[in-house]
Structure 1
Amino acid sequence: MSRVELTNVIKKYGETQVIHGVDLQIEEGEFCVFVGPSGCGKSTLLRMVAGLEETTGGQIQIGARDVTTADPAERGVAMVFQTYALYPHMTVEENMGFGLKMNGVPKDQIAAKVGEASRILKLDEYLKRKPKALSGGQRQRVAIGRAIVRGPEVFLFDEPLSNLDAELRVDMRVEIARLHSEIGATMIYVTHDQVEAMTLADKIVVLRAGYIEQVGSPMDLYKDPDNKFVAGFIGSPSMNFLNGTASGGTVTIPALDGMQIPCPASANGDVIVGLRPQNLNVVAADSPIKVDLSEQLGGVAYDYLKTPTGEKLVVETKGDEVIAAGTSVQVQFDPATAYFFDPATEARLR
């Protein structure tokens, strides 16, 4: 396993710049997740590390080596793609060992490496099957096994679970987390799913429009976002954002029937108030705030509220109670759990 360092990395397609001077350090053995909306540059950045995209500017270093212009085969990386890319006429065993075979590795060494990867991924009973006889999750495990047998310094995953159904996604997420725990390799993982990012990562890199918005551990980003974009992207359901007016250390929130709560001294005039659904509670009351819809998911429910200003509000509640649509409610929360953002720059006000 090796450290990965990106220094002022730039990517342009003609005159269009899509990656803007990215600086990033990924430590040995770290599980780093690139997350962001479609088109933010996360897959492009991963492909630049892999050598599948040329770097327009800056430097990429893996371990002690500058690999900025190195061929993909010389970088010591193995990539797992969204599509499994298995050879349909080969067995699982043959698919996993094919790359080593093409490199002239002796048969006994190939068998040993495939056997170890198969043990890690629990594929022993499928080694003689062909891909058409496997489920989607099993095929993805074979693709991961093919990467393992190469013994790379760095594993790269490009949205590997996107083609799986919801249940398989959860199962494979657990498999990948267990894999990282067992082999301790440096891993870089791309996803647009912030739940995958939160559950897998040691370090999350939040990207938007080719820029890094924030880097940190999952809980650091959840509890201490630097801006409105990160606050809204990390966490499920997403953070609520309401308009407010701040003056003298107090903010008034019209959507909450003029509720006033303390705010930072740096907040003055128009301000955006961020409230996580998990931190809110509702009680029946004579109020202009009404329940629009209540979703019961078993042990948790999501209440979608209409406010007098037309702003939407989602509240997460525990238990099996369903609040009838049209019920008037009052929203309660600890003011210390509120976040504040500048509406012009979207920067966090502290």
Structure 2
Amino acid sequence: MTGVTLQNVIKKYGDIQVIHGVDLEIDDGEFCVFVGPSGCGKSTLLRMVAGLEETSAGQIVIGERDVTRMEPAERGVAMVFQTYALYPHMTVKENMGFGLKMNGYPKAEIEAKVAEASRILKLDDYLKRKPSALSGGQRQRVSIGRAIVRGPEVFLFDEPLSNLDAELRVEMRVEIARLHKEIGATMIYVTHDQVEAMTLADKIVVLRAGRIEQVGAPLDLYRDPDNKFVAGFIGSPSMNFLNGVVDKGAVRIDALDRTISVAMPLPADGTAVHVGIRPEQCTITRDGPLTVDLSEALGGVSYTHVVTSTGEKVVVEERGLDRMREGDPVSLDFDPQDVMLFDAATEARLR
């Protein structure tokens, strides 16, 4: 079994603490994605697992081994970086086998491992090419192949698709998902792109300011976020948030001049709350007190930005041929049972 366990892991740079007591269990064979905004500590945490950053306190266990103080080469991990870092004078085949060659592996074993990685990644037609003759996606596949031939217990990916264009990112997401399915290894993947996280992960770890906000399966985080940060980060476009006030056992939303009843216990009257509703859960109709500020037409779907009377904005997902345009007067509606409420002071979810 080759899971990964982090126990009260802390990282400090001098007096500045950037990772604050992280506890996490990643099961054997699981695809775990660290996601969060820039500066949240996700890459630092990954590098600590790899041994590229020293762990200030706490324990990192891979399989049954405490690797906290081990050198990177001793940990049984392989890392794929944002930059491909391929040797330009070597062919694809030579790049993938170079690490094994430097470690004294027999030539026949290197050939076999490279051939298997090439088969998995569909690189057989490119083995004699040099990196300059490859596309960005092909170079990243070679970089992944170099990791595969090492036969690691755990694969670590540090934003591997960031340098690719949109079409190649989609293609490589599919490739990485297929790779995980075929080899079944434990994988930890870092990204700031929540779409990548939702489509790839068995488990998502949402980080903010060096702390874990929530851990769970993608749809669990989408349907049942613990706080406003997670609710806003998971889902594309982001959840809409409007200011609300508890009033006589209901919630008054001044931006929409509407009071809604919800099937949950509410705090005392006068308590400020944030009302969350996702774009796909809103409906929009012509004529009304609100105004369309912007419409993003993406083909089969449009995202219509509506300005409320208080200046707050709501994004609505529209489908079909009859869609709103900039400046149109409109009304918004939604099912109150789809609403999520968050305490305005703590941002914790009200349940």
Q: Distance in 1 between matches of 2:20 and 2:263?
A: 34
Residue 249 of structure 1 contacts residue 263 of structure 1 at CA under 8 Å; is this kept in 2? no
Whether 2:61 is the aligned partner of 1:73: answer no
2:190 aligned residue: 190
Is the Cα–Cα contact under 8 Å of residues 257 and 288 in structure 1 kept in the other structure?
no
1:282 and 2:277 are equivalent in the alignment: no
How far apart are the structure 1 equivalents of 2:51 and 2:195?
A: 28
| 1:235 and 2:238 matched | no
Q: What's the counterpart of residue 126 of structure 2?
A: 126
Task: Indicate conservation of the 8 Å contact 2:277/2:339, yes or no.
Answer: yes
Structure 1 position 290, deviation (Å): 1.1
Amino acid at match of 2:285: V
Question: How many Å separate the matches in 2 of 1:326 and 1:265?
Answer: 39
1:106 aligns with 2:106: yes
Are the aligned partners of 1:298 and 1:320 in contact in 2 as well (CA < 8 Å)? no
Per the TM alignment, residue 179 of structure 1 is displaced from its structure 2 partner at its CA by 0.2
Asked if 1:202 corresponds to 2:202, the answer is: yes
Judge conservation of contact 2:250–2:259 (CA < 8 Å) in 1. Answer: no
Output the amino acid matched with 2:274: I
Preserved contact between residue 293 and residue 325 of structure 1 (Cα < 8 Å): yes
In structure 2, the partner of 1:247 is: 247
2:154 corresponds in structure 1 to 154
2:275 aligns with 273
How many Å separate the matches in 2 of 1:37 and 1:124?
37
Partner of 2:45: 45
Matched, 1:177 2:177: yes
**Rounded Cα–Cα distance in structure 2 between residues aligned with 1:306 and 1:118:** 53
Identity of counterpart residues, as a percentage? 74
- One-letter identity of the residue aligned with 1:123: L
The answer on whether the counterparts of 2:34 and 2:191 sit within 8 Å (CA) in structure 1 is yes
| Aligned counterparts of 1:89 and 1:326: Cα–Cα separation in 2 | 58
How many pairs are equivalent? 349
Q: Does 1:93 align with 2:118?
A: no
Tell me the CA shift for residue 102 of structure 1: 0.6
Q: Which runs of 5+ in 1 are unaligned?
A: none
Which is further off, 177-186 or 254-263?
254-263
Task: State the TM-score, normalized to the length of structure 2.
Answer: 0.98
Question: Which range is displaced more, 107-116 or 249-258?
Answer: 249-258
Partner in structure 2 of residue 323 of structure 1 = 324
Please tell me whether the aligned partners of residues 295 and 325 of structure 2 are also in contact (alpha carbons under 8 angstroms): yes
Question: Does structure 2 retain, via aligned residues, the 8 Å contact 1:270–1:343?
Answer: yes
Q: Which 4+ runs in 1 deviate beyond 4 A?
A: none
In 2, Cα distance between equivalents of 1:141 and 1:242? 44
1:260 CA displacement:
2.7
Q: Counterpart of 2:313?
A: 312
Offset of residue 84 of structure 1? 0.1
What residue number does 2:28 align with? 28
* TM-score normalised per structure 1: 0.98
Gaps of 5+ in 2: none
Aligned residue type for 2:278: R
The answer to whether the 8 Å contact 1:246/1:263 transfers is no
Q: Does 1:226 align with 2:226?
A: yes
